[in-house]
A and B are shown apart, each in its own frame.
Chain A
Amino acid sequence: MPILNYLWIIPALPLLGSAINGLFGSKWPNKIVNSVAIGSTGLSFLAALEAVREFTHLAPENIPWVQQYFTWIIAGDFRAGFDLQIDHLTVVMLLVVTGVGWLIHIYSMGYMAHEGGYYRFFSYLNLFMFFMLILVLAANYVLLFVGWEGVGLSSYLLIGFYFLRKSAADAGKKAFIVNRIGDFGFMLGMFLLFKSFGTLDFVPLFAKAAPLPADAMGHLGMFTVACLLLFMGACGKSAQLPLYVWLPDAMEGPTPVSALIHAATMVTAGVYVVARSHILFTHAPTAMFVVAIVGCATAFFAATIGLVQTDIKRVLAYSTVSQLGYMFLACGVGAFSAGIFHLMTHAFFKALLFLAAGSVIHAMGGEQDMTRMGGLSKKIRWTYLTMLTATLAIAGFPPLAGFFSKDSILLSAYQNEHGGRILYAFGLLTALLTSFYMFRLIFLTFHGKPRYDEKKVHVHESPKSMLVPLMILAVLSLVGGWVAAPAFWGGSDYFANFLQPVFWQGGAMNAEAAEAAAHALEIPLAIVAVVSALLGLIVAWWLYLRQPGKPEQLAKSMRGLYNLLLHKYYVDEIYAALIVKPLLWISTDVLWQTVDVRAIDGTVNGVAEGALGMGDNVRHAQSGNTRSYAVWVVIGALVIIAIVFWPYFRATTVGAVR
């Protein structure tokens, strides 16, 4: 079984591509650079496929299949190694990352063709692939964290790709810093886990944790605290409340970056971590509840902001935040396999949406504002069709992918014992809003009268290299859901069964117990979901196609609410005032002025000045005057005599005999 023994090849190939492009690419023509990049990613994808094929032949007791390559850290009893593992969850993530990643690499070939720094882009992109693969293949938390940080770094590099633009550089910094805040929580979680279990390797850690009793609801036991800390890291990486603020700004990067990192792969790392740690989470009902609440709130919150945004990429960014909220909602109610399923389908249609948006932007010559588009459906047919497919998928129309995944999440939410109805209600409302703003995007961009100067902008369809990935992803969005279609729809429930070995100890228990009830609920809930999606479509059609003036009127009449949404609830401003400003103040006035300049420099310089001052005063003793020198000599003699004769005085006075 060759590849399974050489798992390291899968991440090493993109790393090699990154190094070659980084070191030598600046001198090479575009063709060679992208063949190196696309070739390395493609080979990695093939290696992943082969690994999956071999994996399916493994005996069940070998799963998860762990390979230990070298020992990285040994400190006392603690050992962290470069260990890679494969199990069913890894298989899903691996195929998504390498497959979608490869398609996006091909797309970038055409999209970035006229950009400067071509080789740098592909080098960073391959570097990102390397770190993401390390993340999904890691067999312990430490190596996972290496990948975690690495994708954060690559994200920073890629968001700030156009670093000569201040807004891009700032956005890169913001992404990295906000991620770091989450990482702080993640590290604390890792420390706590190590302290409790003595190891950070997945297999032994979960084996130790499984038989332990779960924490009670509302009680902050070890499991709860560790899971909450890990979730804090996931919030940072996956842009949940309150650490989501970097994702909309991250749209400053090139569109393929948004597609790969901020739709399909990096932001899903948080969901992956929660799913991977499901054994810990199922022992901490409080943490699961928090996860569900945060996921649901974020989904709703982001959807409301997305309603009024005018930049096409911003809408998609908030949509990503919202859909990630769905995934966390799923994990929070115990439906881990549903969450991972939604992760997979979301990767397909969100990547497609971003790539298609990139195609639109490319066609419009760089224009990103939807209010200046319109009537493009005939001019860029293929882009339109693929984007429409993705929109139908995200809105949850059957039989596309999004319907199945979203439906299973809402079903599990409904059945949750703590506040399930409320979670379901908000989830449903979010689905309606999602459908609305996605179709708003379609109608504003592709339908209606053109709102741009047709003489200035020459709309042209994108090259084949950009269109082919779009079409492949569209096909996946169409059929991708069928692997998980529950039995009663005619599908084989393949996905949940596939992930059963991973999640059997955890959330799937909910589904087992409520299976019978589930069947009864599925059909009504599915109908409700489709109805809400249709409702969103109809409202969008009415507002933007039938009565184009209506949105303006509504905006004017609800000025306050409209402004609130348009300015993203002023969250960035609040953060700046509450956190950034005080921090800067402390840094400048307190730490710099007071501590460094006055205290530390003052002390060091003060010592020097003291020496100078003392010297200045003492030098008056050197008066050059012989007589005063003579007096000093006498004083000295006096002192010495006093010291020498002193005990003699005291001894004789004590026992004086007169």
Chain B
Amino acid sequence: MNVPLIVFFVLAAMCIIGAVSLILQRHPIHSALSLIVVMIALAGLYLLMGAEFVAAVQIIVYGGAIMVLFVFVIMLLNAGLEERTNVSKLAGIAGVPLAVALTGFLAAAVARSQDTVQAATQTGATAPTKALANLLFQDFVYPFELTSFLILVAILGAIVLAAPRGER
């Protein structure tokens, strides 16, 4: 039992509690806040694994922009408590068992592959930000430019979709 392992379990517990809370909460704003908790915990896990840049981006972009956008929309639309309709019988009956089966499969697959993936991981990685930047702007420059284009398109789409009627 060493410190990284304990930290891992704590952060993992936070993730899982947050996810379960997302399911069980009835008001969407509570679900959003639970999701933010999950994201912070994940950022911690990334740090634990030594991916500091990714952890930072996670908090800044995911937590600070995307979740803020979600909260924004929830408030804009005045979302209330969730209704209790149940039109789809299929989802009601088969939903949970299937999801559990899915999880089980993946987990089982992972568990059996212990010997093929290296067991130990090192904390304190090898200055990945610089190397990451090199990789991003040299080998992956083309996808990088495409993502900027993607964001442009997304912005345009969002504006067109959300603009009030009559104003184009």
Contacts of B10 in A (CB 8 A): none
Complex CA distance for A45 and B87, rounded to whole angstroms: 98
Partner of B88, one of A623, A645, A648: A623
- At the interface, yes or no: A625 with Cβ under 8 Å from chain B? yes
- At the interface, yes or no: B117 with Cβ under 8 Å from chain A? no
In the complex, per-residue mask of A621-638: 1 if CB is within 8 Å of any chain B CB, else 0? 001010110111011011
Contact A634 to B112, CB < 8 A, known contacts A627-B91, A628-B91: no
- A648 near B102 with CB under 8 A, answer no
Complex CA distance for A657 and B115, rounded to whole angstroms: 9
Contacts of B105 in A (CB 8 A): 638, 641-642, 645
- At the interface, yes or no: B81 with Cβ under 8 Å from chain A? no
Contacts of B108 in A (CB 8 A): 649
Contact A634 to B90, CB < 8 A, known contacts A641-B105, A645-B109, A652-B112: no
- B91 near A638 with CB under 8 A, answer no
Interface of B, helix, strand, loop or mixed by DSSP: helix
CB distance from B40 to the nearest CB of A (A): 27
Complex CA distance for A641 and B101, rounded to whole angstroms: 11
How many residue pairs link A and B with beta carbons under 8 A? The number is 50
Contacts of A638 in B (CB 8 A): 98, 101-102, 105
In the complex, per-residue mask of B124-168: 1 if CB is within 8 Å of any chain A CB, else 0? 000000000000000000000000000000000000000000000
Interface residues of B in 74-110 (CB under 8 A from A): 87-91, 94-95, 98-99, 101-102, 105-106, 108-109
- A641 near B91 with CB under 8 A, answer no
- A634 near B98 with CB under 8 A, answer yes
Contact A631 to B95, CB < 8 A, known contacts A625-B88, A641-B102, A657-B115: yes
Contacts of B113 in A (CB 8 A): 648, 652
Chain B: how many interface residues by the 8 Å CB criterion? Answer: 18
- A628 near B102 with CB under 8 A, answer no
CB distance from B83 to the nearest CB of A (A): 13
- B102 near A637 with CB under 8 A, answer yes
Partner of B99, one of A623, A634, A649, A657: A634
Interface residues of A in 327-353 (CB under 8 A from B): none
Contacts of A652 in B (CB 8 A): 112-113
Complex CA distance for A642 and B102, rounded to whole angstroms: 9
Complex CA distance for A657 and B113, rounded to whole angstroms: 11
Complex CA distance for A638 and B104, rounded to whole angstroms: 10
Contacts of B98 in A (CB 8 A): 631, 634-635, 638
CB distance from B96 to the nearest CB of A (A): 10
Complex CA distance for A652 and B109, rounded to whole angstroms: 10
The chain B residue sitting closest to A632, CB to CB, is B90
The chain A residue sitting closest to B106, CB to CB, is A641
- B88 near A628 with CB under 8 A, answer yes
Contact A631 to B90, CB < 8 A, known contacts A638-B98, A638-B101: yes
CB distance from B86 to the nearest CB of A (A): 9
Contacts of B101 in A (CB 8 A): 638
The chain B residue sitting closest to A625, CB to CB, is B88
The chain A residue sitting closest to B112, CB to CB, is A652
Contacts of B95 in A (CB 8 A): 627, 631, 634
Complex CA distance for A652 and B102, rounded to whole angstroms: 19
Complex CA distance for A630 and B98, rounded to whole angstroms: 11
Complex CA distance for A656 and B112, rounded to whole angstroms: 9
Contacts of A653 in B (CB 8 A): 112
- B102 near A634 with CB under 8 A, answer yes
Contacts of B109 in A (CB 8 A): 641, 645, 648-649
The chain A residue sitting closest to B104, CB to CB, is A638
- B102 near A631 with CB under 8 A, answer no
Partner of B91, one of A631, A645, A657: A631
The chain A residue sitting closest to B92, CB to CB, is A627
Complex CA distance for A652 and B110, rounded to whole angstroms: 12
CB distance from B104 to the nearest CB of A (A): 10
The chain A residue sitting closest to B111, CB to CB, is A652
Complex CA distance for A638 and B113, rounded to whole angstroms: 19
Contacts of B89 in A (CB 8 A): 628
Contact A625 to B87, CB < 8 A, known contacts A634-B99, A638-B98, A649-B112: yes
The chain A residue sitting closest to B108, CB to CB, is A649
Contacts of A648 in B (CB 8 A): 109, 112-113
Complex CA distance for A54 and B113, rounded to whole angstroms: 109
Contacts of B115 in A (CB 8 A): 657
The chain B residue sitting closest to A656, CB to CB, is B112
- A630 near B91 with CB under 8 A, answer yes
- A627 near B99 with CB under 8 A, answer no
Complex CA distance for A623 and B90, rounded to whole angstroms: 11
Complex CA distance for A634 and B108, rounded to whole angstroms: 18
- B112 near A628 with CB under 8 A, answer no
The chain B residue sitting closest to A653, CB to CB, is B112
Tell which of B108, B109, B113 has the most Cβ of chain A within 10 Å: B109
The chain B residue sitting closest to A635, CB to CB, is B98
The chain B residue sitting closest to A637, CB to CB, is B102
The chain B residue sitting closest to A652, CB to CB, is B112
CB distance from A469 to the nearest CB of B (A): 97
Contacts of B87 in A (CB 8 A): 625, 627
Contacts A628-B91, A631-B95, A634-B99 supplied; 20 other A-B pairs, CB < 8 Å:
A625-B87, A625-B91, A627-B88, A628-B88, A628-B89, A628-B90, A631-B90, A631-B91, A634-B95, A634-B98, A635-B98, A637-B102, A638-B98, A641-B106, A641-B109, A642-B105, A648-B113, A649-B112, A652-B112, A656-B112
B residues contacting A by CB (< 8 A) are 87-91, 94-95, 98-99, 101-102, 105-106, 108-109, 112-113, 115
* A-B complex: 7 closest residue pairs judged by Cβ atoms: A627-B91, A627-B88, A628-B90, A628-B88, A652-B112, A625-B88, A645-B109
**A-B pairs with beta carbons under 8 Å apart, 7 shown:** A625-B91, A631-B91, A634-B99, A635-B94, A641-B102, A641-B109, A645-B105
